[in-house]
Amino acid sequence: MNKKVEGNYTLEAAILLPLILFIITALLYTALLLHDWKCAVGAIHLITMEGEAVVRKSMEPATGSIDYEKYLNRGIFEGTRDYMLEETKLEDVLTKYIEDKGFITSIEDIKVELTSKGIRINLHLEFQLPMPVMGRFFKKSGTDYKYEDYKSFDNQPEYIRVFRVMMDTGENLPGADTILSSIKKAFNFVMD
């Protein structure tokens, strides 16, 4: 017995199959987009921490080695130092990290500014989607990623060290003991 198959199955498959493939491709591109975005955020966090290490201990950004001799011999003008060479190296490390980890990311612009007080990172990424139809679909929600932030460095150990040196110096100065005792009384009064 030959059964005659109507053409509506073929028509439904012709409509549903491209729709299903489009949804699967969109989900795949979304996963790639989120992966590359998270890699960029991780790279920014890494560069922020390395920038602080560069400033605090004169670390070499490319190798991660610390020049302890340079750290111990820093003068009082360390805060006015120019970090252009270190900024370039941090930009190179950030670029390499994003290029190595990202799948569909291209770096449009990257700028790292380093001072003794903090680090500023400006990053502009473009996520390149290979299919033009998908590019138009994602363009509405955003395939650009712009990051601009400034993180100031906390130097609590240095603050404690300077405070301790000043307290020890103040205890050895004549007449400073009366000022110190009045300050301690004020702090004890506030603490009680």
The strand pairing partners of 149, in sequence order, are: 121
Helix (H) or strand (E) holding 184: helix 176-191
Helix (H, G, I), strand (E, B) or coil at 173: coil
Read off the pLDDT of each residue in 14-31 and give the average, rounded to a whole number.
86
pTM, two decimal places: 0.62
- When comparing pLDDT for 178 and 1, which is higher? 178
Per-residue pLDDT of 32-43, as tens digits, reads 888 888 998 888
Which pair of structure tokens corresponds to residue 186? 């004020």
Q: Please tell me whether residue 148 adopts helix, strand or coil conformation.
A: strand
Summarised one tens digit per residue, pLDDT across range 86-118 is 888 889 989 999 999 988 888 889 999 988 778
> Kindly report the CA angle at 110 between 88 and 36, in degrees rounded to 5?
120
Q: What is the pLDDT of residues 115-129, one digit of tens each?
A: 877 889 999 988 877
Q: What is the mean pLDDT of the chain?
A: 76
Residue 52 has pLDDT above 70, yes or no: yes
